[in-house]
Amino acid sequence: MKSKTRNTMIAQLVKEARQAKGFTQQEVADQTRISLRSIQRIEGGEVEPRTHTLKELARCLDIPLQHLLTTSPEEVQPSVHSISKKIILSLGLSLLVVLLGLAFAAQSPYPETGFEALLGFAGLSALVTLILLRLWPQARRGILTLGFALITPLLALAFVAQAPTFPETGFEALLYMAFLTAFSTSMLLVVWRKKEKESPL
């Protein structure tokens, strides 16, 4: 009975953590090198995973290992320390990067043109994106989407600022916007590759 309760607890923790991350069972299987069938059985509470399996799941889903090793649901206490620390670091480092960038701009002749200013903002955006990717590796798709959505128009505006003769007509402007939309869509499709459907438990 105790083993069944433990299996149910692990199944609930793993499934909730996976769904919170937006992962499919196949993605968890790929990242942990655990078979898809094993992931399905764990989430179904059919088996008691080995310690190595629990370690891989804890790493992939950002679950405190102790929660998976706990023998009863009553002993599991929600831990927000890790997530809180990441949020604080994300906000602090992002703000620090922006402030240092503005301080540099205030103390130097750079930027002299709108092109340089937009290029600088694009660079800062890319740096913040890299920092967030480092802190939140499991949320890479969302971060890449936001970063790309911010950096692409900045680079596009920088190009327009550098080439004052373009666009000369409304047709060219609309064509340019259509090209950017198509390019952005294709890149986001790469980031958000088609997810494989989960097999029913």
How far apart CA 28 and CA 142 sit, in angstroms, is: 17
Structural domain harbouring 6: 2-71
CA dihedral 134, 140, 146, 150 (to 10 degrees): 50
CB 142 within 8 A of CB 156: no
47 and 101, same structural domain?
Answer: no
86 and 164, same structural domain?
Answer: yes
46-104 residue pLDDT tens: 888 888 999 999 889 888 887 777 644 444 444 445 667 777 888 888 888 888 888 88
Q: Domain ends where: 71, 91, 114? A: 71
Secondary structure of the chain: what % helix, strand, coil (to 5)?
75, 0, 25
39 and 20, same structural domain?
Answer: yes
Looking at the structure of the chain, the number of domains it has is 2
185 and 90, same structural domain?
Answer: yes
- Does residue 129 fall inside a structural domain? yes
The token pair that represents 82 in the structure block: 């890790």
- Global pTM reads 0.51
155 and 120, same structural domain?
Answer: yes
CB 145 within 8 A of CB 132: no
